[in-house]
Amino acid sequence: MNCKQACGLITGLIDHQLQPETVAAVEDHLAGCPSCTKAAAQERRLKQAVSSMKREKPPAELSKRIQEGLAKAKKQSTRSAKQ
């Protein structure tokens, strides 16, 4: 495997989309090629940055609290309607 081939497979490697034998071949190349290792590290960092941006939704704990608050408010309004 040459650098061009390895470079083309780095994204797939990070996304875990490669066959095990392809993974082995890419990792084998990376082990002996500092520039491709660097490219893989950069790609991985980029990927992490993107996925951390995607995670900027309200945390599960917060939305649970909102739902509980809504449920409580609903219960209270039903009770006061009966009185």
- The residues binding Zn ion (CB under 5 A) are 3, 6, 33, 36
For the chain, give the secondary structure using H, E and C: CCHHHHHHHHHHHHCCCCCHHHHHHHHHHHHCCHHHHHHHHHHHHHHHHHHHHHCCCCCHHHHHHHHHHHHHHHHHHHHHHHC
Closest CB 56 distance from Zn ion, rounded Å: 34
Minimum CB separation of residue 36 from Zn ion in Å reads: 3
Whole-number minimum distance, CB 13 to Zn ion, in Å? 13
Nearer to Zn ion, 38 or 72 (CB): 38
